[in-house]
């Protein structure tokens, strides 16, 4: 655009210079009138003087105006072309294609931005499709899993109903199995609620002062019935008086989800360590268990929605794959971070929260 303006100014100055050279310019016009229309020398000079020499300023302005119109038309057409290219590039953002958006060299910056947006949109679209697929798969799996304990419950209750004189020992066995299946059915139904509620729920924090030692010790006691059959133990190493500011109910859910994961994937007869310490203006809580290491490639995806570490889907330990994803959402809402490290010796989940 600036180059065009400079070119027009140079052309006008040159034209003005040529027009101001009256002698050569007027002589050319006189010769043209005399030779073309066979006029006398004096008449040709008079016409040249009246029409051109006396109106040189007007002629210059007319020439400038004409050049401005030409330049404006050229500039508008050029900008219209650029706008059309940009609009076409924006339209391609919605296309499901790996082809990059290409614009004129003058629009390199816009081309880069549009391709960056297209790449981000494509990643988000693929992530959404992947999450939806995993969610649908989990709904199918959970529906199948619900049918299994429900069938067992109906079967054992039918046996109890058909044989009222069943021996007490056998009856107690059937009741115990039925109760176990009922608990499993309750767990699966709760997971269905988690799936439907996860994306609809906005996290609202009700912060208060939390005694960390008391919270974690109480949580360890609640898991005692799960630990005994496998010979596992929980060791809580938290300084007395260590407190933090947060939503107690929601942070309890975070620690509960991490602890359940540690218990599910730790070796039998092992100790799960829960430790906490203050680092500057943060509280760092770690959960360490000894078990099979998490593959390095899966460490980044373990906090994704509907991700399950056990691809074999153990119906006894497997959940909906929401526990750690929800934990991350809650920690983020507290302006904290959650991470995991794993090697052949142990797996450690680390939660860092501001005081």
Mean pLDDT, range 325-336, rounded to an integer: 85
Using alpha carbons, list the distances in angstroms from residue 268 to 111, 263, 265, 341, 346: 57, 9, 9, 21, 14
The β-bridge partners of 341 are: 348
With a CB cutoff of 8 Å and minimum separation 6, the contacts of 66 are none
Mean pLDDT, range 11-18, rounded to an integer: 61
Q: What are the b/e assignments for 103-131, b being 16+ CB within 10 Å?
A: beeebeebbeebbeebeeeeeeeeeeeeb
**Do the Cβ atoms of 109 and 82 come closer than 8 Å?**
no
For residue range 274-322, list pLDDT tens digits in order.
Answer: 999 998 889 999 999 998 888 877 777 777 655 554 444 444 444 445 6
With a CB cutoff of 8 Å and minimum separation 6, the contacts of 61 are none
With a CB cutoff of 8 Å and minimum separation 6, the contacts of 40 are 34
With a CB cutoff of 8 Å and minimum separation 6, the contacts of 103 are 85, 86, 89, 110, 111, 114
Using alpha carbons, list the distances in angstroms from residue 136 to 131, 189, 194, 287: 9, 16, 14, 31
- Which helix (H) or strand (E) element contains residue 138? helix 108-162
- Token pair of 8, please? 């027009």
For residue range 50-96, list pLDDT tens digits in order.
Answer: 766 666 667 667 777 777 787 777 766 666 766 667 776 776 766 66
Distance CA(53)–CA(65), nearest Å, equals: 19
Residue 349's pLDDT is 92
Output the pTM of the full model. 0.51
Residue-range domains of the chain with CATH: 2-92 (no CATH), 127-198 (1.10.287.130), 208-354 (3.30.565.10)
pLDDT at 270 over 80: yes
| Per-residue confidence band for 46, with pLDDT thresholds at 50, 70 and 90 | confident
């Amino acid at each position: 655009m600036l180059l065009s303006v400079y070119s027009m100014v140079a052309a006008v100055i040159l034209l003005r210079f040529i027009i101001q050279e009256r002698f050569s310019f007027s002589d050319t016009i006189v010769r043209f009138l005399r030779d073309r229309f066979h006029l006398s020398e004096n008449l040709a000079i008079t016409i040249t003087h009246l029409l051109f020499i006396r109106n040189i300023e007007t002629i210059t302005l007319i020439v400038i105006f004409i050049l401005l119109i030409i330049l404006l038309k050229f500039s508008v057409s050029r900008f219209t072309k650029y706008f059309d290219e940009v609009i076409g590039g924006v339209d391609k953002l919605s296309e499901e294609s790996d082809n990059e958006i290409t614009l004129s060299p003058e629009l390199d910056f816009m081309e880069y931005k549009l391709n960056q947006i297209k790449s981000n949109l494509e990643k988000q679209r693929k992530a959404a499709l992947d999450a939806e697929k995993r969610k649908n798969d989990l709904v199918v799996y959970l529906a199948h899993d619900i049918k299994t304990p429900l069938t067992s419950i109906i079967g054992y209750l039918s046996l109890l109903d058909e044989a009222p004189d069943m021996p007490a020992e056998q009856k107690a066995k059937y009741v115990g199995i039925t109760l176990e299946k009922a608990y499993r059915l309750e767990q699966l139904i709760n997971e269905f609620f988690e799936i439907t509620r996860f994306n609809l729920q906005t996290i609202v924090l009700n912060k208060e002062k939390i005694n960390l030692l008391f919270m974690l010790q109480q949580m360890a006691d609640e898991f005692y019935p799960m630990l005994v059959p496998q010979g596992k133990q929980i060791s809580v190493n938290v300084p007395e008086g260590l407190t933090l500011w947060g939503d107690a109910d929601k942070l309890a859910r975070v620690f509960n989800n991490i602890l359940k994961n540690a218990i599910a994937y730790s070796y039998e007869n092992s100790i799960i360590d829960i430790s906490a310490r203050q680092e500057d203006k943060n509280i760092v809580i770690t959960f360490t268990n000894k078990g099979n290491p998490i593959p390095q490639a899966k460490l980044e995806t373990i906090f994704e929605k509907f991700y399950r570490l056990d691809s074999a889907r153990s119906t006894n330990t497997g959940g909906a794959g929401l526990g750690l994803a929800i934990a991350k959402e809650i920690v983020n809402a507290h302006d904290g971070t959650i991470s995991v490290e794993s090697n052949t010796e142990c797996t450690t989940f680390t939660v860092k929260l501001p005081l």
